Amino acid sequence: MAIASVVVATETGAAEAVLADLARLPNTEIYGSKENEIVAVIEAESVAALTEGMQRLAAVERVVGVYPVYAGVHE
């Protein structure tokens, strides 16, 4: 199991809209937000799938960046 904690940066004033979009993504949990930053955790079966999950986050409209804080593989 691969896991990553990330900060998702949004455009100014877009955090609420982005939160709603992120809540619909698979294997993604939201842990909080402040101003234009959202803390999320992604879980996946492999590092490749984890990378795809982060790419899905980055592709959400009004997201300006996805910044990993922690990433690891647990067996």
The span from the CA of 20 to the CA of 3, in Å, is: 21
- What's the pTM? 0.91
Burial of 61 (0-12, 13-18, 19+ CB in 10 A): exposed
Tens-digit pLDDT profile for residues 20-64: 999 999 999 999 999 999 999 999 999 999 999 999 999 999 999
CATH architecture for the domain at 2-73: 2-Layer Sandwich (3.30)
- 74 has a pLDDT exceeding 90: no
Tokens of 23: 């809540």
